[in-house]
Structure 1
Amino acid sequence: MTSPSSVRCYQLNPSEYTCLFSPQLLYLFSLFHEYDHSIRLVGGAVRDILLGVTPHDIDLATTATTSDMMKIIQGDSNIELVYTRAEHFGTLTMIVGTTIRRTFQVTTLKQCIIRHGRDVQVQFTDNWSVDAQQRDLTINSLSMDEHGMIYDYTNGIDDLKLNRICFNGNILARLQENPIRILRYFRFFGQLSADPYAHDETVLDAIRRSAILLQDVPGEKIWLELKMILTNRFAGHLIRTILQQQLAPFMGLPESSEGMFELENRWLRCMNYQPQPITLLMTLFEDQGEFDTFCQRIKCSSHDKNLGQFLLHYRYVIQPSNNPDMLYSYKDFLINSHLTQQDTLHEFVIELLKYQGHILVINELKQWSIPKFTINAWDLRENGLTSSHRFPNLLRKLREKWKASKYKMTKSELIEYGFLSGVFYM
């Protein structure tokens, strides 16, 4: 690592970065410079530029304090300040522009972060090198000005070229400052490492020693990181490694690691079919109680919770059929489901096939349209039937006949069958 006082600079070609500098961003830069404050792109945006990836978000850092920033934008009609709880951490969210508006987060450079449980104190600085040194990973410590000059205080560019995921300075100190960095390490490892097993044992040891710190991290943040890990390369390997570091109980996951090898195998079988994160993770849960504990901890969305419950309930119930149509039982389940739920359940059944490892029939079910049983009680009345108490039984028999025809019989054919077969007179 370079010394705190040294910096390596790397000049980008204009074609590599100018597209990022919208008029709104350039306006913000010029405003800060007018008040003699330095401002740069930082973190993921700079890393993505070097990787040839267009950044999704642009985060900014500055030598200005939040008080300075308030004075800079006060009365400026081109900037709207969005008040959040982030001001305590030196971050202001600004919406820049009038007709076309863009949102940016601007953060004061940090000297250190002091954490006591969920209480966090931040000390600020105007020194770019000090700020870079206290960021979590070297690849996230890069900054860039509006002229495309990248500043590297921690050898982040070299680590990026070599696909190395290295912490800045003392690993335990970095994890103490912000425990979510434990999972961020695995996320970036999955994105960038060339070898799923190339973990530095020093890093894993620090993670094991810091595991208990995760208990103070909000569940939403844990789930956000887990989802990105589960959709990355090496997802199966990474989850196994995470569980081997005894992190499970602090994330609401079962402490038993029996399922971690099966999760890795399941991921290997279906990784090319983009299984949803919860689909893979359900391997670890043996019963509803374990899954409920996880949902309460990470506060997952209703969609994720419903999908998880579906997989938990049906993973051994719906199985391939022995008849020529291997998907018969899956199709039958969907056809028998309520019309308002069929689209969601169709998605869930596809995830069930991924979970079960029946990869070769997934595309067939994706392309299959659920046939609609078009007869209802009104149709029976229209054809002269009046004993409404018998309608549910009649509709059930017509439905069985429709299914036996492989869902091909039309409404008129089914009505005709009802009269000719005597079903309507039984």
Structure 2
Amino acid sequence: MWSRLASVRAVSRAVCFRSLFTMRLKTDEFQSLFTDGLNGLAEVFAKHRYELRIAGGAVRDLLAGKRPEDVDFATTATPEEMKHMFQTAGIRMINNKGEKHGTITARLHNENFEVTTLRVDVQTDGRHAEVEFTTDWQKDSERRDLTINSMFLGLDGTLYDYFKGYEDLQNHKVRFVGSAEQRIQEDYLRILRYFRFYGRVALKPDNHEPETLAAIRANGRGLAAISGERIWVELKKIVVGNHAAHLLELIYDLELAQYIGLPPDGDVDEMKRVWQNAKDRSPKPMTILAALFRWSEEVEKMDIRLKVSREEKNLALFLVKHRRELRRNQEEPDNLRPFTDFIIDSREPDSQSKVCELLKYQGEEKLLSELLVWSIPRFPISGHDLRKVGIASGKEIGATLQMLRDVWKKSHYQMDKDELLSHLKL
């Protein structure tokens, strides 16, 4: 069926200094993409004789044997031509914010499909690009960041690879398309994207091409002009990927930290130790990054630059404050008491999750497994109970509740209401 729907066949030809490499992909992951929605989309493009291919990261994932979470499409049709096609076919279009960049989102069978016209960059400033539309697949491939992200996949399974992306993927190599310096200067965020994909693709932690690192070092200052929100999206993915400790250390070695919100004099040794402790326990990104901060003031500066969420900022502040003082009792190393007491005393709804991250930070695997199944006991006394026994003053109720809480704590949270009330001197 897809040979009928495919717009073009692969044609072997010389392209600048590269040759177009093609192959045919036939995998279960690829076939699973063909829902009623995609079938309908393909029919529309085939009917109007416009080419439609899967683009970018989805191709990389499919070649790696993974079913992509998001699938983007590229086409030779312009936005106006796509709108005409979809309107004629009665297909709903949503979210027109991407239209000026060439992206139209069509909704078929309760699925959204983002389709982008092939583009070339006519002007870049290191953050944004002015584009023109084209029908040349190689030109669009040239403007992409990494070879492994520059491939296209026809709906008949034909791979179109202009820059040896498939070969690099097979060899676990991460390289920029063409000149690393030129690609970086088009968008400085590509420095962090390089690190992020290195953590996903490379087998070894330190197998970079020297010229790539040289280009990154020479252009690192450009990251200062990139928005904190965009940096934070990439940085979080770097930290939870493979080789995170190596990549964060490399960020410091290449003198990039000061431009991306990390402390210039971060504690790299502490970070490497914490990463080793936590890497197999699904730590939150901030759990690893917190190790770089020596003082809470550095967390505040990071937040100003990156605009992290309140939850992320509070976790960093919590870890910096409590990583030394809130620890297991050396006399009873298997006892959760210091941590459960802290959680109950804090009375904050997210305190247990914060302490779990602290235990990952400290490498306390056994205590962490126990805390994950521990339930916070409910204090059995309320102000209403005290009023029933004759305590009416708000101030006295508060003091009495605190006294009874201390008694309850000493009982290892075992006393019930009657036992606690028996301690009152009425």
Quick check: TM above 0.5? yes
Q: Aligned pair in 2 of structure 1 residues 378, 152: CA closer, same or farther (>3 Å)?
A: same
Q: Aligned pair in 2 of structure 1 residues 157, 233: CA closer, same or farther (>3 Å)?
A: same
Match of 2:167 in 1: 158
**Contact 2:45–2:52, Cα closer than 8 Å, also in 1:** yes
Q: Aligned pair in 2 of structure 1 residues 393, 123: CA closer, same or farther (>3 Å)?
A: same
AA of the residue aligned to 1:175: I
Match of 1:207 in 2: 216
Q: Aligned pair in 2 of structure 1 residues 387, 300: CA closer, same or farther (>3 Å)?
A: closer
- 1:370 maps to 2:370: no
Q: Aligned pair in 2 of structure 1 residues 388, 133: CA closer, same or farther (>3 Å)?
A: closer
User: In 1, Cα distance between the equivalents of 2:185 and 2:113?
Assistant: 27
Query: Which SS does the other structure have where 1:278 is aligned?
Result: helix
User: In 1, Cα distance between the equivalents of 2:262 and 2:107?
Assistant: 42
**Contact 1:39–1:145, Cα closer than 8 Å, also in 2:** yes
Match of 1:40 in 2: 53
**Contact 2:142–2:177, Cα closer than 8 Å, also in 1:** yes
Which of the numbers 147, 155, 165 marks the counterpart of 2:156?
A: 147
Match of 1:236 in 2: 245
- The 5 A counterparts of 1:290-309 are 290-309=298-317
User: In 1, Cα distance between the equivalents of 2:52 and 2:399?
Assistant: 74
- The 5 A counterparts of 1:258-273 are 259-273=267-281
**Contact 2:54–2:153, Cα closer than 8 Å, also in 1:** yes
**Contact 1:208–1:245, Cα closer than 8 Å, also in 2:** yes
Query: Which SS does the other structure have where 1:41 is aligned?
Result: strand
Q: CA deviation at 1:58?
A: 0.5
User: In 2, Cα distance between the equivalents of 1:80 and 1:123?
Assistant: 22
AA of the residue aligned to 1:91: T
Query: Which SS does the other structure have where 1:20 is aligned?
Result: coil
Q: CA deviation at 1:384?
A: 4.0
Q: Aligned pair in 2 of structure 1 residues 378, 143: CA closer, same or farther (>3 Å)?
A: same
User: In 2, Cα distance between the equivalents of 1:233 and 1:44?
Assistant: 18
Match of 1:58 in 2: 71
Q: CA deviation at 1:161?
A: 0.8
- The 5 A counterparts of 1:4-403 are 4=16, 6-13=19-26, 15-84=28-97, 86-92=98-104, 94-97=105-108, 100-112=109-121, 114-116=123-125, 118-257=127-266, 259-324=267-332, 326-338=335-347, 341-342=348-349, 344-386=350-392, 389-403=395-409
**Contact 2:379–2:405, Cα closer than 8 Å, also in 1:** yes
Query: Which SS does the other structure have where 2:19 is aligned?
Result: coil
**Contact 2:20–2:162, Cα closer than 8 Å, also in 1:** yes
User: In 2, Cα distance between the equivalents of 1:389 and 1:169?
Assistant: 73
AA of the residue aligned to 1:224: V
**Contact 1:28–1:96, Cα closer than 8 Å, also in 2:** no
Q: Aligned pair in 2 of structure 1 residues 119, 160: CA closer, same or farther (>3 Å)?
A: closer
User: In 1, Cα distance between the equivalents of 2:224 and 2:41?
Assistant: 38
Q: CA deviation at 1:300?
A: 1.2
Equivalenced residue count is: 411
User: In 2, Cα distance between the equivalents of 1:57 and 1:66?
Assistant: 21
AA of the residue aligned to 1:404: K
Q: Aligned pair in 2 of structure 1 residues 380, 9: CA closer, same or farther (>3 Å)?
A: same
User: In 2, Cα distance between the equivalents of 1:101 and 1:7?
Assistant: 36
AA of the residue aligned to 2:411: S
Q: CA deviation at 1:70?
A: 2.5
- 1:407 maps to 2:416: no
AA of the residue aligned to 2:30: Y
Structure 1 window deviating more from structure 2 (376-385 vs 268-277): it is 376-385
User: In 2, Cα distance between the equivalents of 1:322 and 1:163?
Assistant: 45
Q: CA deviation at 1:272?
A: 0.8
User: In 1, Cα distance between the equivalents of 2:190 and 2:139?
Assistant: 19
Query: Which SS does the other structure have where 2:233 is aligned?
Result: helix
**Contact 1:335–1:372, Cα closer than 8 Å, also in 2:** no
Q: Gapped runs of 5+ residues in structure 2?
A: 1-13
AA of the residue aligned to 2:367: V
AA of the residue aligned to 1:95: A
Q: CA deviation at 1:278?
A: 0.5
**Contact 1:394–1:424, Cα closer than 8 Å, also in 2:** no
User: In 2, Cα distance between the equivalents of 1:147 and 1:387?
Assistant: 78
Q: CA deviation at 1:49?
A: 0.8
User: In 1, Cα distance between the equivalents of 2:291 and 2:27?
Assistant: 48
Q: CA deviation at 1:289?
A: 2.5
User: In 2, Cα distance between the equivalents of 1:385 and 1:180?
Assistant: 63
AA of the residue aligned to 1:106: V
Q: Gapped runs of 5+ residues in structure 1?
A: none
Q: Aligned pair in 2 of structure 1 residues 248, 389: CA closer, same or farther (>3 Å)?
A: closer
**Contact 1:65–1:108, Cα closer than 8 Å, also in 2:** yes
Q: CA RMSD in A?
A: 1.9
User: In 1, Cα distance between the equivalents of 2:106 and 2:303?
Assistant: 34
